[in-house]
Amino acid sequence: MIEEANNTIFGLAAYVMSSDTVHAVSVAKRLEAGVVGINKGVISDPAAPFGGMKQSGLGREGGYVGIGEFTETQYIGLDWPGSPA
């Protein structure tokens, strides 16, 4: 079932329904999807990173992980008088 579910070029969302939570989490970890809902149909949350895998997109938006997509890192090297060489 995992192989069949992952046999696609897309990977935005997936869903797992099970009365065995441990098994459901194990299945969810093996699914190639950016977000996975376990025993729930609505899985979006403003505090959670959202994004897909494969051709469903790269990167994340939302949550603490998503902020990196909207930042630009800059390094400034400065030879300050009196600093160790």
Reported as a single tens digit per residue, the pLDDT across 42-56 is 888 877 888 888 988
Reported as a single tens digit per residue, the pLDDT across 4-33 is 999 999 999 999 999 999 999 999 999 999
Q: What is the pLDDT of residue 80?
A: 82
The strand pairing partners of 61, in sequence order, are 50
Average pLDDT, the chain: 87
Beta 35-38 vs 13-16: how paired, if at all?
Answer: parallel
Q: What are the residue ranges of helices labelled H in the chain?
A: 2-6, 21-30, 63-66
